[in-house]
Structure 1
């Protein structure tokens, strides 16, 4: 066999060997992208905060890590909710289905017991007793100063459907810190 024919045969053999590896690489890359899309679309999320309704717990322009799957809404959870106008809002759950919530002299009562809330700022307006319906939660911002948080205290907002909860805020990525419960 001539030297040129051997070299041509080697090059041709190398090309055949790299094609399946290249195809496998692209397939692996495509599956990785699909998996990352699925994870970020349905399991976890990143949310940037715009506003002061959750001060002092969460500052304006904070970036939060959101758990979208592995949580059950509980009192004290900070959650991201899809509002009726299509925006994502972040609030704290203080009332669960069948709870009775009232706010008197700036103190929040759930089922007749005062909540111990060290994470709040400002003094809330009084709110008459509200019984939370099945499938809903009562949410408020940590900044209780009147006008700083549009939440369940406003009769135009009221309780929020549990189905509208996108996920639970686990921690702040920027600035990095754990969120108070």
Structure 2
């Protein structure tokens, strides 16, 4: 009679569904971390190489920019174009050991001079629309290859540490970290020199 008894172990064993949800949960958590790390890497790349922000410190760029103005910086531009006259550059100065914000007025190979309050580039006065102060005269000098000549918009002697100062001098192109394209706080554009007939 015992051969007529059906045991629970007869036939195919039931499939256990226990481990599957845990495995799915582990994979989802892993992919969540992967997505987070990829997003973090992209954000770091963008902030390091493409876009950035900078805060103005001091009065050297008045009246265009004021202390504590918050700037949007285009870092990618340094990879695909050369600096232009009038660009407001964020520079990490090796000579000074910190970042500065200055306006580029002289490009490699150009002759820069200051006379009677005006900046001359290759003998032509720069048509500036947003500067202040009366700068001291500066004898004409030629900007070397690989460098730019920068000034603060506040030209009053002693108000801006720029290429007129022996502490800074000409700025190597490699020290340009990006170009300020907009003031985010307060909101507004940044004045540039008027075009010349050069």
Q: Do both share a fold (TM > 0.5)?
A: yes
1:91 alignment partner, SS class: strand
Could you tell me which residue of structure 2 aligns to residue 78 of structure 1?
Answer: 88
Q: Quick one: distance in 2 between partners of 1:162 and 1:13? A: 58
How far off its partner does 1:16 sit? 2.5
* Deviation larger for 149-158 or 130-139: 149-158
Q: Which residue of 1 aligns with 2:126?
A: 115
Q: CA deviation at 1:66?
A: 1.3
Candidates 111, 114, 117, aligned match of 1:106: 117
Deviation at 1:67, TM superposition (A): 1.4
Matched, 1:31 2:38: yes
1:156 Cα deviation from its structure 2 partner: 3.9
Cα deviation, residue 88, structure 1: 0.3
CA 1:156–1:70: 2 relative to 1, 3 Å:
closer
User: How many residue pairs align between the two structures?
Assistant: 175
Matched, 1:42 2:52: no
Long gaps (5+) in structure 1: none
Quote the Cα distance in structure 1 between the aligned partners of 2:53 and 2:133. 28
Contact 2:108 2:145 survives alignment (8 Å): yes
| TM-score, structure 1 as length reference | 0.90
Give the alignment's Cα RMSD to 1 decimal: 1.7
**Larger CA Rg, structure 1 vs 2:** 2
Does the 8 A contact of 2:119 with 2:125 survive in 1?
yes
Partners of 2:33 and 2:172 lie apart in 1 by 43
TM-score, length of structure 2 as denominator length: 0.82
CA contact (8 A) 2:56 2:69 kept: yes
- 2:152 touches 2:162 (CA, 8 Å); kept in 1? yes
Q: Could you tell me how far apart the structure 1 residues matched to 2:25 and 2:165 are?
A: 65
TM-superposed deviation, 1:35: 1.1
Mean Cα displacement is larger for which, 105-114 or 68-77? Answer: 68-77
Cα distance between partner residues in 2 of 1:30 and 1:110: 49
Secondary structure, counterpart of 1:118 in structure 2? coil
Mapped contact 2:73–2:181 kept (Cα < 8 A)? yes
CA distance, structure 2, for counterparts of residue 158 and residue 130 of structure 1:
11
Secondary structure in structure 1 of the residue aligned to 2:77: coil
